[in-house]
Amino acid sequence: NRSKTPKNQEALRVANVAENSSSDQRQACKKHELYVSFRDLGWQDWIIAPEGYAAYYCEGECAFPLNSYMNATNHAIVQTLVHFINPETVPKPCCAPTQLNAISVLYF
């Protein structure tokens, strides 16, 4: 298994220590409030109700390595590894919703 070479294990260990020591200065990924007003979007003439909705958004840094409680997708795990090997090629993965809720919209 190529990923288990001592060089890669040591590099991962060093990166993990570096990430953990500097993570205090960065904000961990979490959900933030975002209210979308249909009036602000100029959609009030065709959306009757509701006037808007709580959309929320995710922002912040994800820890390296990704923890199991983060429900990381396979894509996020691969992106993390590619970023670790060559940070210039792709950014770190960011958080994304694990659950979405439907809303009813009355429009014409």
CATH fold of 2-107 reads Cystine Knot Cytokines, subunit B (2.10.90)
Of the candidates 61, 58, 13, the residue with the CA atom closest to the CA atom of residue 33: 58
pTM: 0.58
The string of pLDDT tens digits covering residues 46-84 is 999 999 999 998 888 777 777 777 777 888 888 888 988
DSSP state of 51: S
The string of pLDDT tens digits covering residues 3-31 is 444 444 444 444 444 444 444 456 788 88
Domain boundaries, the chain: 2-107
Task: Give 34's pLDDT tier (boundaries 50, 70, 90).
Answer: very high
Task: Give 44's pLDDT tier (boundaries 50, 70, 90).
Answer: very high
Query: Do residues 96 and 85 touch, judged by C-beta distance below 8 A?
Result: no
Of the candidates 32, 2, 21, the residue with the CA atom closest to the CA atom of residue 64: 21
User: Angle at Cα 2 formed by Cα 14 and Cα 12, nearest 5°?
Assistant: 10
Residue type, 84: F
pLDDT for position 15: 47
